[in-house]
Structure formats: C-alpha cells, structure tokens
Amino acid sequence: MSALTVAEKSDIIEKMCRYITHGHLQGICLESIDGEELTLRLPYRDELVGNPDTGAIHGGALTVLLDQALGIAAICCDRVGPVLTPTLDLRIDHLGTAPAGSDIFATARVYRVTRRVLFIAGFAYCESRDKPIARATGSWVLMPELDLTGLLEPAHGEGPS
C-alpha cells in the first residue's frame, strides 16, 4: 500500500466524518493533517455539558471525539488502506477539564501496525496541544477482507451512504 497524499487523506477523512451519523450531527470535522497525524474538531454546544454546576464538557463527549479520531486514523493509515477496523478497546485518561464554550480538538496517530491489530494513540485539547485535557490509547482490529473502498467512492456523490 503506497502512502496516501494529504489530499487523498483529507478526502477519506471528510467522507468518513459525513458517513458517521452521530459524529456528523455533532459537527465533528477535519481540522488538519500533518504527516501520519490527523486532527478533528468538535464544535462547542451547550448540550455537551456534563457538569451543569461548572459548565464543564461531559467526559463522554470527549470519548465520542477521541474514538472517532483514533478510528479514522486507522482507516487512513498509510500502511493499511481503507478497510474495516472495529475498535477492540479504548482507554482515556482525563488530564483536565474542557472549559465551557471551547471547541475541542483531537489528534490521533497510528503508532504500530501488526498483521491483525493497529495500536493508536491520541489526545484532546482546547487552547493548545501542549495542554492536553485527555489522552487516549486503543487497539483496533484489522479486517482486510472488509474493504471500505466502495463506501468511499466519489460516485456516491454526497460521500458514503
């Protein structure tokens, strides 16, 4: 599998962000691509609040964003190609609190690929990536027999559906 260009990755990520119904409704979108690292953005909304007394974002909203960022990193990994990669496990360390009113970013990178398993890590931040509010690590199962290329064909117009 040859490395994907930034434009190709951008295309895959944007299609996946539209394909994943819940993420799309949350407004989760591509923020940037830097080599093998991708960053998604979750726009702030009042309904993401988990602690009504402080206005802090719900930990579960971070779980949604991080699960999606790490999962999409699996799909557009240079060493894998667009195949189905179900999540095996996900661990999140909550290092801080997302303040009320802030958009949240999640950065993810595949750091190890074996024949059957992808090991992926990422983090979430608000103002600066040097001040992460959460760290995530997880394993994804590689299922090369379940090719997603059909879902990502441009012929589908508005993306995979």
Binding site for another protein (CB under 8 A): 19-23, 25, 46-53, 58-61, 63-68, 71, 86-94, 97, 151, 161
Q: How far apart are CA 38 and CA 36, in angstroms?
A: 7
Which lies closer to another protein via its Cβ, residue 87 or residue 102?
Answer: 87
Q: How far apart are CA 54 and CA 42, in angstroms?
A: 20
Q: How far apart are CA 90 and CA 140, in angstroms?
A: 9
Tokens of 85: 């990669």
Which lies closer to another protein via its Cβ, residue 55 or residue 78?
Answer: 55
How far apart are CB 6 and another protein at their closest, in Å? 25
How far apart are CB 21 and another protein at their closest, in Å? 4
Which lies closer to another protein via its Cβ, residue 50 or residue 99?
Answer: 50
Tokens of 109: 């990178």
